Amino acid sequence: MDPDYVLLYECYDSEEALALRARLIKAGMSVQLQNDPVSRRFPKCATQIWAAREQAEEAGSILNSKHAATEDRESPRWRCPGCDEIISGKFLVCWNCSFER
């Protein structure tokens, strides 16, 4: 990984990783995924979210304050108006096109 990036978060839930990345990008953060869930060759590896070193503190605050979309796990699935993807109700951001519900 680029030395100008720091590890911010790891998870095994690909929907969560993509939603978190989308939220950070929408907030203007420069982030990268390692072990991208879409192209992952080794599905048992955790997806890692890396943030630009100079934005790591702010990006971490965004993840901690919002913990990006897992607040209401009982919500029904929803269809994204931006790309027509079906999204788990626990997410507030479309993993595919970053549309916020």
Q: How many domains does the chain have?
A: 1
Residue 91 inside a domain? The answer is: no
The pTM of the whole model exceeds 0.85: no
Q: What is the CATH number of the domain that holds 14?
A: 3.30.70.1530
For 77, other C-beta atoms within 10 Å of its C-beta total: 10
Q: Are 90 and 69 in contact (CB under 8 A)?
A: yes
Q: Where are the alpha helices (DSSP H) in the chain?
A: 14-26, 56-66
pLDDT of residue 87: 81
Per-residue model confidence as pLDDT tens digits over 33-90: 888 766 656 556 788 899 999 998 899 888 887 654 454 445 677 888 999 888 877 7
Please check whether residue 79 lies inside any domain of the structure: no
